């Protein structure tokens, strides 16, 4: 919002300055003339920045140490939703380096400990991460959900 207002004010000052320069000029016929300059303005509305183009189910994260994260979910999600959760976790750490190991547990907040372990996951953000995790591709989580595990 502030950028748009500043941009409009700057353009408005430029228009006034240009219009002011043209005042008082005389033409060859001796008549006063004025100059009107139209300055195009643009308004850009920026929405919230998201890296995930889909709805992500509720979850919480807790960093347990170097390269170890616990993802806490309130229920066992279907495979497609769990994939979205893990992709969101990968996206959140994309500015970092290395590989990460993830435990997926049941709970109702990031502080919940001792919940049922639903599965594990790993992801690599660069070549070092590939070596640390043993994965073969970057920015994709390899997730294993235990059969029959329920919250």
In this predicted model, what pLDDT tens digit does every residue of 71-88 receive, in sequence order? 999 999 999 999 999 999
Per-residue pLDDT averaged across 115-133, rounded? 94
Q: What's the confidence (pLDDT) of residue 100?
A: 94
Which residues have CB under 8 Å from 109's CB, separation 6+? 60, 72
Are 99 and 124 in contact by the 8 Å Cβ rule? The answer is yes
The pLDDT value recorded for residue 112 is: 87
Mean pLDDT across 25-45:
46
Is pLDDT at 28 greater than 50 in this prediction?
Answer: no
Domain ranges of the chain: 1-47, 60-145
Contact 73, 151 (CB under 8 A): yes
Residue holding tokens 């990460």? 100
């Amino acid at each position: 919002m502030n950028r748009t207002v500043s941009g409009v004010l700057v353009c408005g000052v430029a228009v006034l300055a240009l219009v002011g320069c043209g005042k008082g000029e005389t033409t060859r016929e001796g008549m006063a003339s004025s100059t009107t300059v139209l300055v195009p303005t643009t308004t850009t509305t920026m929405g919230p920045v998201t890296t995930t183009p889909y709805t992500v189910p509720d979850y919480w994260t807790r960093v347990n140490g170097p390269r170890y994260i616990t993802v806490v979910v309130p229920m066992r999600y279907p495979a497609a939703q769990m994939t979205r959760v893990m992709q969101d976790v990968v996206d959140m750490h994309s500015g970092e380096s290395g590989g990460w190991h993830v435990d997926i547990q049941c709970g109702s907040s990031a502080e919940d400990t001792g919940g049922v372990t639903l599965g594990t996951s790993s992801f690599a953000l660069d070549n070092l991460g590939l070596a640390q995790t043993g994965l073969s591709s970057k920015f994709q989580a390899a997730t294993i959900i235990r059969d029959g595990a329920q919250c």
